[in-house]
Amino acid sequence: MAIFDVIVIGGGPSGASAAKEAVERGLSVALFDHTHPRRKACGGGLPVKGIEWMDAPDEAIECHISSISFKLDDIKLKIPVNKGKYVRRDDWDNYLFNRAEEAGAKLFKERVVKIEKNNDSWVVNDSYQSKYIIGADGVNGISRKTFSKKISRDDLFSAFGYYLDIQPEDNEMEFIVGHLPGEEGYIWVFPKKDHYNVGICYNARTSGMRDALDNFVKDRWPGEKIDGKKWKLDETGEEVDCIPFGSAIPSYNNKKLFDAPISGPDWVLCGDAAGHVNPIHGEGLNHAVLGGRLAAQAVSEGDPTKFESYWREHYREDMYHAVTVKHQIYRSWFLKLAFKLGRTPTLFHLLSSIVRDEDKQSMSVFKFWYKLPIAFIQALFGMSHHSLKNET
């Protein structure tokens, strides 16, 4: 039996970050993931919020984001940004996985299929023993099922997309809302270095969303899908790769789910396994990386339950706020009003500072309420922010 202080299950951003941190804090670590190298289904947009938490040096970056835009019907709110970045999930995850090994974690390219308690220790796959387990194996993996309970389908987003082999012309990250079969969800267009990552994120129970994405792709790049993996462009007749990908993302509907324990005396969950994804838009990479490190810190201090207060210190406010407003934000009346008011100089300025992560969440909420009456007056007089004059 191989014996370690801690076994980390899952070598995505959360598990790899946890493993590296745990080693650096003096623990012997085994990191299990049977899939590397692999390309996890993802947009690969590093959230502006918490970008400083990421272990993403220039060599791990695929390209930069120059602006982030939100579109509803013919209104587009385009916000210049200077700290947005994209990663390729095969390259970046592999980088993090190898960094954990370089730090001293022992890697096992093996799937964890069995977790058992034996006196004061955990035994994994009948062959590996540890005092602690860090579960970082994504949504509803073996850790979640062993230590907590499965995240219900009602509290999941589905996300589905294509790697579309067309050379992007600019670096504008786009989010498009409205006119989808379900109320909650959006289409994203992420221009990467040499292709588009285009997809749709929606409530897991909504049907018809994949067709909505195909219709969008057809509108944007007129053509047709061939054999499920190619896109034939009408204009040139060229067939380009259009590789589908998809997976589930936690998207909680109730604050109480964030209050449920995700740790015990000798185990802790982090990343998607902990449900630590922003429920409005499904961004999880920031919480996966920081959460992994904080989980390892708690374990190294001999008390994994400390993670409950550690993660709250850093991103509780965002999670609670997001879960509270999630349903309002996607209502069509709200979107229409928000986009009309969002064009006004006052609210566009505020939206820009939120997107650029220049204010704390509570400060943004406070500013929103006192700026709202001014925005109404500006909207009444048809005023829009000067940078939007050339936008539709």
Positions in the binding site for ligand FAD (CB under 6 A): 9-15, 32-35, 40-45, 47, 111-112, 136-138, 141-142, 159, 161, 199, 246-247, 249, 271-273, 277, 282-285, 288
CB of 17 to ligand FAD, least distance (A): 8
User: Nearer to ligand FAD by C-beta: 202 or 348?
Assistant: 202
User: Nearer to ligand FAD by C-beta: 34 or 360?
Assistant: 34
CB of 315 to ligand FAD, least distance (A): 12
CB of 199 to ligand FAD, least distance (A): 6
CB of 345 to ligand FAD, least distance (A): 30
CB of 319 to ligand FAD, least distance (A): 13
User: Nearer to ligand FAD by C-beta: 90 or 165?
Assistant: 90
User: Nearer to ligand FAD by C-beta: 184 or 283?
Assistant: 283
User: Nearer to ligand FAD by C-beta: 44 or 279?
Assistant: 44
3-state SS string over the chain? CEEEEEEEECCCHHHHHHHHHHHHCCCCEEEECCCCCCCCCCCCEECCCCHHHCCCCHHHCCEEEEEEEEEECCEEEEEEEEEEEECCHHHHHHHHHHHHHHHCCEEECCCCCCEEEECCEEEECCCEEEEEEEECCCCCCHHHHHHCCCCCHHHEEEEEEEEECCCCCCCEEEEEECCCCCCCEEEEEEECCCCEEEEEEEECCCCCHHHHHHHHHHHHCCEEEECCCEEEECCCCCEEEEEEEEEEEECCCCHHHHHCCCEECCEEECHHHHCCCCCCCCCCHHHHHHHHHHHHHHHHCCCHHHHHHHHHHHHHHHHHHHHHHHHHHCCHHHHHHHHHHHCCHHHHHHHHHHHCCCCCHHHHHHHHHHHHHHHHHHHHCCCCCHHHCCCC
CB of 26 to ligand FAD, least distance (A): 23
User: Nearer to ligand FAD by C-beta: 44 or 342?
Assistant: 44
